Every structure is written in structure tokens, then in C-alpha cells.
Structure 1
Amino acid sequence: MDPDTFRDDLGADVYWRRRMTALIGVLMVVAVVAWACSATGGPDDVRKRGGTTAQETPDAVPGVLPPPEVTPSASWSRTPSPGTSRATGAAGTAVRHRRPGQVCTPRQLVLSMEGQGTVYPAGIRPRFILTLVNVGKVMCTAEVGPRSLEVRITSGPDRVWSSSDCISGETDHVDRLERGVPYVRELVWDRRRSGNDCAADRVAARPGTYVAVAHAPGLRSRKAVFHLR
């Protein structure tokens, strides 16, 4: 046999074996791609396997819906308390209006006191002017007697004198306070101490620095600082 003929037959066998190997590789790639596509099925495949999708759960929605609001009937109304009237503003909230002649509230009043001097020589009695002003919209009434409208004088922590100590006779006095018209009272201190024991002798206050403040229910004036010589 010719040696060249044997060499040619061996080359043909290797050639076809390589072609078959390449063809088998291509077929395997195609099979893998086909299997992957079938494994990622759509919603129909999920339903066939017994699963559910997000669009198939409408029964869970009613459980989170807010309860229906109950609107009161327009014919229902509340009777206002005596002495007040109610009106509804633009925002639908109830607004209370006070009637003239009712008792003044602390919010309607401004209490002030001023001393007539800052230094009082010996023998001169300190004088103070009290004013109580109604800043509300309507006239109101206030108790302005010495027990309700009090002036208190202190020296440091020492309570020296009070206008409500040892008072006698008519002590209650109700005044009508028109809007912006002040109630005015002048008060004079006799430079003697006072206390709960009205039978005790009243001792003269010593020279020094003192502070006077007016008090009323829910109200307090500014301090008036003065000196006794």
C-alpha cells in the first residue's frame, strides 16, 4: 500500500470526528436555552402550579379600608349654657361670646399700681395709686373690696403690712367695669406693721427699702420699690 494513501485516510477520519464534536456542542447549547425558557413561565404557569399573583388578591383590600365616617344630622344642636351665646366661625368651630354684666375673668383685667414717690422722709406716709382696667369687649363686674383687691408691703422675706389685715365693716364691694374705663383707688400706708393679731400694738416700720405689690384673684401688679427714711 502507498504510504500517502494511509496518511490521507487518517486525516479524513480526524476531520469528520471534529465536525461531529462541534455539532454535538451546538445541540447542547440549544437544549440548555430551551430548558431555561420553559422554566421561567408567565402568570399562566404560576396558576397551573397552584400559586397566585399580586393581581389575584383583591380580598385583602377591604380589610385595610377606613371605616365610613358618620356625619351628625344638620338638625341636631346643643343648647348653649346660660350666660353665653355660641356662633360658628368660618372654620366651623364654636366661639363663645360673653354677655355684659358677667363676672370679669382675669384675662379681661389689667391690674397696675404706682407709688407717688420713691423716697419718703420721716413722718411722710407712702401713697399708691391702684388701677383696674377692663380690656374685654363688654362690660363686666369685679370685686374691688379690700379683701379681694389687696396691697401687700414686704421687706425681703418679711411681710410688713397688708391692706386686708384687720379690716372691719363693709368689706365687699362689686363695681361695674366698662371697657377701657379704669377703676382707681388711692391707698396710704401709715408706716406701721400689721398682722393677724388685731389686738396687738402696731409697731412702726424701720427705715429701709420696701416693695409694694397689688394682688387680685388671678392677677398681680408690678413691684413698686420705695425707701423709708
Structure 2
Amino acid sequence: MRTIVGRESPRTYWRRRAIVLGAGVVLLAAGLWACGGSGDDPAEPVAAEPSAQAPASAEPSNTFKRPFVGDAPPSASSDVSAAPSGSAAPPAGTVQGGPCADVDLRLEPKPATAVMPKGGYLTIEFRATNAAAVSCVRDVGSKAQEVQVKAGGERLWSSDDCAGSGESSKRTLQPGEVVTSRMTWDGKTSTPGCKKSPRVVPSGKYQVMARLGSAWSKPVEFTID
């Protein structure tokens, strides 16, 4: 007796199609593996590209830093050491702008001529120089200045004898600065206050000296002929 098979349902039809399709995919994969895997070394995996580019590092800053300028001191990490401010202190023993010591002064009486006639007149220049290395203050007025004419140790004439009390004049003398004045001697003797009559100084060799306060010059010789 022959069995008659009717038409199959759609569900059964698609199930068979899926089985056939799956078997075909398996066979295809097996063939690809057999062709690609026959080499000795396995294929190296391809590295994935980074999703985002790494940010570039910042450029290095200059190693030199400016010295600190402001009210607060620079931090200890500053690369530049600040230079010491102010000038170096003066050597010990020097007093800028203080009184001029006698040893700081160079006094010179300069006769206008080395030989003067008896009974004549002689012009004498008074010179005071600050020989110190710094400026100093000194009274250089007429009250502090004096010129004397001597014969050996004997005092014959002084510019202070018949003059008034004079004036004081304190000045700041720069190093090497010179103060000058001129006096005229009439060739006669004098006494303090002009109490005695003058007499004409005879011919001979004499010395002239200059004084500024308590400082004295060396004697300078001249001749009366």
C-alpha cells in the first residue's frame, strides 16, 4: 500500500533551509581556515588606531628668569641671584665730608719774587690744598689765614698784627681743591695790634710761612737785597 505525502508546512520548510545554510557557512569557514592557517607563523594582529591623538607636550620654558622686582623678596627657587645693592663701604679711617685734619692740608706761601729790594713791597700768595682722598670741611676765611716773615726763629712780621679780626668761611673742599689769597708785605716789622713803630727789615735771607688754623706750612726762603 503506498502512502501519499502531502505538502509540508511553511515552518518545516524554513527550518530545513536554515540547517542547510548553517552547514554551508561551517564548510566555508573550514575552507578559509585551511587556506589561511597553513603558514608557519601566525598572522600578527593589527593594532587598533588610537581613538584620539595624545596632546603634545608643552614646550619647555626658558631657563633664565628675570630678577625679582617688587616689595617682597624673591623665592628661594629663583634661578638668578640678586646682586648686592649699594656701593662698598669706604676704607676704615676715612670720613667723607668730615672736618679736614691738619695732615690733610698742604699749605704753601709763594713769594712773587725770590729777591726783593730793601724797603720795597713783596706780594705773597697763600695756597691751601685738600690733599686728602675724600672731601672735607675747613674754615678757610681770613680769620684762619696768616702769613709770617721770620729770620731764623724770630718773628718779624705777621699779616694778623695790624689787620682786623677777619671773617670765618667754612667750606667743603673736594680732593685736590685749592684755596688761594694774596697779601702784601711792606718790608717792615710789625707787632700784635701794631703797638710798636715798624722798622725797615735789613738786607739778608728770610723765611716766609703760612698758617691755616692750627696747620702750618714749611718755610720758604727769599732774600732782601
5+ residue gaps, structure 2, are: 1-87
Matching of residue 120 in structure 1 with residue 116 in structure 2? yes
- CA drift of 1:96 comes to 4.4
2:119/2:201 contact within 8 Å kept = no
Choose the corresponding residue for 2:157, options 145, 149, 161.
Answer: 161
1:145 & 1:198 partners in 2: Cα distance? 22
- CA drift of 1:177 comes to 1.4
Q: Amino acid of the residue matched to residue 122 of structure 2?
A: P
- Equivalent position of 1:186 in the other structure: 182
Aligned sequence identity (%): 23
- Equivalent position of 2:146 in the other structure: 150
Shift of the 104–88 alpha-carbon distance from structure 1 to 2, 3 Å rule, reads closer
Choose the corresponding residue for 1:98, options 95, 98, 108.
Answer: 95
- CA drift of 1:193 comes to 1.0
Aligned alpha-carbon RMSD (Å)? 2.6
How many residue pairs align between the two structures?
138
1:146/1:163 contact within 8 Å kept = no
- CA drift of 1:116 comes to 1.8
Shift of the 121–170 alpha-carbon distance from structure 1 to 2, 3 Å rule, reads closer
Question: Structure 1 length as normaliser, TM-score?
Answer: 0.52
2:103 & 2:152 partners in 1: Cα distance? 30
Map 1:14-163 → 2, pairs under 5 A: 95-100=92-97, 102-163=98-159
- Equivalent position of 2:207 in the other structure: 211
1:88 & 1:114 partners in 2: Cα distance? 35
1:87/1:96 contact within 8 Å kept = no
- Equivalent position of 2:171 in the other structure: 175
